[in-house]
Amino acid sequence: MIEAIINYEFLQNAFLSGLIIGVVAPLLGVFIVVRRMSLIADALSHVTLAGIAGSLFLSQSFASLALLNPIYLGIVASVGGSMLIERLRSLYKHYEELAIPIIMSAGIGLSAIFISLAKGFNTDLMSYLFGSVSAVSRQDLIVVLLIALVVFIFLLLFFKEMFVLSFDEEYAKATGLPSKWIHLLFMIVVALVIAASMRIVGILLVSSLITLPVAAAMRISKGFKDTILYAIIFGESAVIIGLVSAFYLNLAPGGTIVVTSIIILFIVISIKKLLFNLKVERG
């Protein structure tokens, strides 16, 4: 396997992108989960799909756009979708969750139209839906790297503000933090990470890499930084185990990574329960 990675560029791209996403997705995921925005991540991934399907359709229709990397339109759609969600959430103040089905169905609806215009599914689209070990290009890897850089800069600058905003929004407002702007930036960063993750895990499974490691981490952590650390460890393990098994078993990595995450979650819950029972027995 290691020999294969050294020999084949596509494997290097896939593994390096995977390792980066394995850190970035759960890192941002902790904020997404504690702010109860898991479903928003899901809605955004479907909007990203619309951008990708649109891009694939354009490449098919116009020869000059044949080489356009779909990740770019995917990013545009994802960031645009995140801004639309914010707009809808303030429009339906008392039914904020309505923004999720509206954006999600818009995303799937548009995707369906572009897919039919492009005369049906092809393997390329399948790789965007469920991820791929072989389809990650050097250009994709560079985009993933840049997006990871944006996430790190964002958190370096706003970690303490994001903590306050996530923990107690009313307090954040009362202390005069620019919560609106920080939240908007956060939404853009989330949209970028979703677009970056899709190459490896696929659009349909992006939100799982953001939420499952966090769900497992929250079972065993006491504090916020613990939660981030555990989430990254679980996320990274799922990506490594998932990619290796996808390579050997010739499966879509999205599937293997998500199933690994679920197994990790199950193991963590069981161990926690076992320890709790032992503690109760000992009194």
Partner 1 sequence: MSLQKKWKDLYLQIVNRNDYQLERREIMTKPLIELQNVSFQYEHTKVLHNISFRVSEGDFLAILGPNGSGKSTLLKLILGIAKPLSGEVKLFGESVSSFQHREWIGYVSQKSNAFNSAFPATVEEVVKSGLTKKIGLFKRMPKNANELVVDALKAVGMEEYLDRNIGKLSGGQQQRVFIARALISEPKLLILDEPTVGIDHENVQSFYDMLARLNKEQQITIILVTHDVDTVSNRISHVACLNQTIHFHGYKKDFDSISDEQLNGWYGHSVRKIH
- By the criterion CB under 8 A, which residues form the site for partner 1? 34, 36, 157-158, 160-161, 163-164, 166-168, 170-171, 173-178, 217-218, 221-227
User: Which token pair is 139?
Assistant: 């250009």
Q: Contact at 8 Å (CB) between 159 and 40?
A: no
> Which residue in 1, 23, 22, 20 sits closest to 11, CA to CA?
1
Min CB(181)–partner 1 separation in Å: 10
The minimum distance between CB 220 and partner 1, in angstroms, equals: 10
Q: Which two tokens stand for residue 172?
A: 């954040």
Closest approach of partner 1 to the CB of residue 36, in Å? 8
Q: How far is the CB of 22 from partner 1 (least distance, A)?
A: 20
9/168 with CB nearer partner 1: 168
Can you give the three-state secondary structure of 75-105, one letter per residue? HHHHHHHHHHHHHHHHHCHHHHHHHHHHHHH
Q: Are 157 and 206 contacting, i.e. CB atoms less than 8 angstroms apart?
A: no
Kindly tell me which of 56 and 210 has the beta carbon lying closer to partner 1: 210
Instruction: Please identify, using beta-carbon distances, which residue of 87 and 160 lies nearer to partner 1.
Output: 160
CA atoms within 13 A of residue 138's CA, in its CB half-sphere: 2
Shortest distance, CB of residue 131 to partner 1, whole angstroms? 29
Q: How far apart are the first and last CA of the chain?
A: 49
* Nearer of residues 170 and 281 to partner 1, judged by Cβ: 170
For residue 63, which amino acid is it? A
Nearest residue (CB) to partner 1, 8 versus 159 = 159
Looking at this protein, which amino acid is placed at residue 246?
A
